[in-house]
Structure 1
Amino acid sequence: MRYTKQTKAHPRHMSTDKITLRTPDVLLDPNLEFSTEEPPIRELVLTRKRCIDSSIVDSFLKLLRNGSDDILRQKLSSYSQAQDNGRANSSKKTSCEQYLKKELYPNWQTRDQIISFCEGQSEQLKHELDAGTSKSIRSNVIPEIDPRLDPYSARRIIYDREAAYKDWKRLNSWIENNKKVESILRNSSAKTLKQNCDQNADYMAQFFSFINKTT
């Protein structure tokens, strides 16, 4: 099961300079324990800069993953106990459906929005860099500079371009890494859901149906 970019679900995020995302109120159950060194980030204003310098985004994604896939069995148990203590099969099915719609699928969707937004910013950045390089070649943007007046100007222009391309490569690497993480987590969660809910259900297909209905 591979991570699939759902551009149809998030077209509005690809044309903006920033998006604001919040963690759901039900994300952190006070009865569940998490190992954390810092207070959780409950709201994220995502920009290109934060995609490139991703420490805050990484913390936000970690919070989302810790509160969903990483404690999936505990969450299912909690929902099951709320439905007649999980004694009836119908109650078990209902509790699974409630958890998927209220927590897990919205959580996955938010993570998709983050990755899709940063991927869109990566594509825009590459286009801007390529266009700028092409324009520079055609018009000789780098001027002839008297080294006695400013010996570092030409070198600084070249350095800035190289740094921008490094940012783009780092962002691409971050995107691919997080796609792999999502694929692994969702594959594992789908197996857990089959074991605890409905072994015949296609939970990824249900997720795609969910995001198409909510956008």
Structure 2
Amino acid sequence: MNAPLDRPKVTPQFCFDTVALREFLRLSRASVDDSITQALNALNTPSAAGFDPNSTMQRGPRSISRQIDGEACDDFKKKVLFPTWQSRSDILHYCALVATSPDPTDPTAAIRESEAAKNKDRVVDERLDPYSGRFFPTEPRTQALATLVRTERGVENIVRHRTWDVVKTRCGQQHLSGWEQPMKQWEMETEKKR
């Protein structure tokens, strides 16, 4: 079973380091979600039932869509899948809070102020230069972080839906609708244990 990726120390600087934030999310998704089929295949133990002599009567490979033991699937979801998802959710939530908080240490604040001052002094004559009215100030890093978090939450939702479809199919739990309800149930069980 794949172990969940270690969670980095979450600070505002980690959030503003968009390369590190994206890399953590990418590695976390690669370790669990992108390799979900392999992880579920590792849970399958065909030798547990013993040798079936009738299996030699079949020609060709067996179907790969064999279902996995429900207990092994539940254990995988509780120990690997849901903790990994929760870790990513916690980091994205924290970074969303950082993005909506004031940023007194923004290194681009002085640049934006000088750009705004220069913009006030500009002469705009769109008849002579139709592009002279355009002004694109430097974006505050909180705004860039908010855009990144919004995008990554969308990606996270897509990744979770695809992963959950594979889990439902391989674990024989087609009756489950979405991943949200089982995740909430796991969160409540985890809270009770604390």
TM over 0.5: yes
| Unmatched runs of 5 consecutive residues or more in structure 1 | 1-23, 29-41, 130-154
Residue 195 (structure 1) aligns with: 169
Identity of aligned residues (%): 21
Q: What is the distance in 1 between the residues matched to 2:143 and 2:42? A: 42
How many Å apart are 1:82 and its aligned residue? 8.4
Deviation per CA, 1:41-64: give whole Å up to 9, x if none. x45122212212211122111111
Residue 100 (structure 2) aligns with: 123
Deviation per CA, 1:92-115: give whole Å up to 9, x if none. 111110110010000000000110
For the 8 Å contact 1:52–1:171, the answer to whether it is kept is yes
Letter in 2 for 1:107: T
Q: Secondary structure at the match of 2:3?
A: coil
How many Å apart are 1:25 and its aligned residue? 7.6
| Unmatched runs of 5 consecutive residues or more in structure 2 | 52-65, 117-136
Larger radius of gyration: 2
Residue 179 (structure 1) aligns with: 153
- Superposition map of 1:75-86 within 5 A: 75-81=39-45, 84=48
* Structure having the larger proportion of residues in helix: 1
Q: Structure 1 residues 80 and 118 mapped into 2: Cα distance closer, same or farther (>3 Å)?
A: same
Letter in 2 for 1:190: W
- Superposition map of 1:1-215 within 5 A: 26-27=3-4, 42-81=6-45, 84=48, 92-125=69-102, 158-159=113-114, 166-197=140-171, 198-202=173-177, 203-215=179-191
* Structure having the larger proportion of residues in strand: 1
Letter in 2 for 1:44: P
How many Å apart are 1:83 and its aligned residue? 8.7
- Alpha-carbon RMSD across the aligned residues, in angstroms, is 3.4
For the 8 Å contact 1:83–1:95, the answer to whether it is kept is no
Q: What is the distance in 2 between the residues matched to 1:187 and 1:110? A: 17
How many Å apart are 1:86 and its aligned residue? 11
Q: Structure 1 residues 86 and 62 mapped into 2: Cα distance closer, same or farther (>3 Å)?
A: farther
How many Å apart are 1:205 and its aligned residue? 0.6
**Structure 2 length normalisation: TM-score?**
0.66
Q: Structure 1 residues 53 and 92 mapped into 2: Cα distance closer, same or farther (>3 Å)?
A: same
Q: What is the distance in 1 between the residues matched to 2:74 and 2:147? A: 35
Q: Structure 1 residues 86 and 157 mapped into 2: Cα distance closer, same or farther (>3 Å)?
A: farther
